Amino acid sequence: MATTITINSVKWIVFFVDKTHEELIDDDGEQSAYGVTCPRECEIYIDDELPKDHMRQIITHELLHAFAFSYRESIECESDEKICNFIAAHFDELKRLRKEILKAV
């Protein structure tokens, strides 16, 4: 299954694939990731067998990579995964708090 999204006029294809898909496995044939963003191809690959909560976090993580690329923002490689993991892990809380604050305005 696949869907197309647009971020800052850049079209991306998001593929939901089996965990044995070549983009999700390492050289030893083992699954090395639950999601992968390929900026040159503007493609995102997500393991389609993840539990819903984990899938939501992985999708958020990969979208952050796609947003950075689409808006031509450079994140240092060493920090890249850490930043995406942190935001993806706390994204739902961030949205909830933003909504709570906006209600007060």
**How many whole angstroms separate alpha carbon 86 and alpha carbon 80?**
10
What pLDDT shows up at residue 10? 96
Kindly report, residue by residue over 88-98, the tens digit of the pLDDT.
999 999 999 99
Domains of the chain: 2-104 (1.10.10)
Kindly report, residue by residue over 21-47, the tens digit of the pLDDT.
999 998 888 888 999 999 999 999 999
- Does 77 have pLDDT greater than 70? no
**How many whole angstroms separate alpha carbon 26 and alpha carbon 95?**
34
Q: Looking up tokens 């050289």, which residue turns up?
A: 27
Q: Look at the alpha carbons of 15, 18, 83, 80 in this order and tell me if their dihedral is positive or negative.
A: negative
pTM of the model: 0.85
